[in-house]
Amino acid sequence: MAERLSLSLTLSPSTPAPTTMAAFSTTASSRILPSATAASRARLSFSSSLKCLRSSPLVSNLFLNQKRSPMVRVSERGLSSTASPKCAAAADPDQLKSAREDIKKLLDSSFCHPILVRLGWHDAGTYNKNIQEWPQRGGANGSLRFEIELKHAANAGLVNALKLLQPIKEKYSGVTYADLFQLASATAVEEAGGPKIPMKYGRVDVTGPEQCPEEGRLPDAGPPSPADHLRNVFYRMGLNDKEIVALSGAHTLGRSRPERSGWGKPETKYTKEGPGAPGGQSWTVKWLKFDNSYFKDIKERRDEDLLVLPTDAVIFEDPSFKVFAEKYAEDQDAFFKDYAEAHAKLSNLGAKFEPPEGIVINDGPSEPAPEKFVAAKYSSGKD
């Protein structure tokens, strides 16, 4: 495919509270958004991103010098030779639940919600419904932990998400990378105030870099024909127009930095301060809160400090997309319902489950508390 596909999340560095500095001297906040068009803009230095947790380039487009962690090494064989990938016969439900609690603590200290959402999206988003064989079909199989796939332009900066999650992976050997990526993504949405996502687990990991998909399966931010491009990418995954628009709503999280992605302003009144390093341009005022603001703000397009990409604007321009975008701008409950279903579907794409029916660990209330994510109130701009 001529155009590079990428479900990108923009990654911006974030600094945790002083009490968490020992664990994370620097943290990241990112955003789901399509990658920049020009390969020269998007292809950020993989080696420089390995320098530290603070060195987190904005992924070509959709989500700065820290000490390298001795615990995490990336090679062509994947993350940390001491935690080499093995396919568990079956996922451990207790370990999955414990890992989820640890992810919640990580989110509370590092505000890395956007990049964790992006990590899950990018591992699953390589799925091709026209290929039957596993793992050639791509999808949620943990292949994104290998250097060859991390070096794809659309995945720039995702090594930082892996570094954040690696201690959790090492702690819970009964959780595969494929499950951990999807668990972290769903938990990040829920903890940012989004809907409860009906997830299942038990995904099997690929075992080597030779099983990674080729580059070019993820979406672009500024293609010549945005609507056609989005359909080409998401239809290949087996998703429809409603699911395309619902998933676009996750762009409510994060911000874009022009020096890294080629999109957005260097700074706005909404990104001057808050969790993480200042700067960049966000799509919404409260860019760490999951709600339907993305649709409202794109529809109005009255605030020059909020970013609108070609692939954002088209959801209110294309007749089929517009039906759903208008609905979600008016009805957050409808958006949450459709987003939860679409996210769950995306997270299962291409996965091989053991046991085949998967394992469900979700419990608690079906809807999260509306103001659960306190950090969403940080904005120094208008409400």
122 is an active site residue: yes
* Sign of CA pseudo-dihedral 141, 147, 148, 154: positive
The secondary structure of the chain in percent helix, strand, coil, rounded to multiples of 5, reads: 40, 5, 50
Q: Please report, for the chain, how many H helices and E strands are present, in that order.
A: 14, 6
Structural contact between residues 380 and 272, judged by C-beta atoms closer than 8 angstroms: yes
Longest dimension (CA), the chain: 53
In the block, which residue shows the tokens 């994104």? 144
Catalytic residue among 122, 229, 251, 343: 122
The closest of 312, 292, 290, 315 to 375, measured between CA atoms, is 290
In the block, which residue shows the tokens 């099997």? 204
Task: Write the CA distances from 24 to 3, 31, 163, 297, 342, integer angstroms.
Answer: 37, 20, 10, 33, 32
Angle between helices 177-191 and 159-171 (to 10 degrees): 110
Mind telling me the catalytic residues?
122
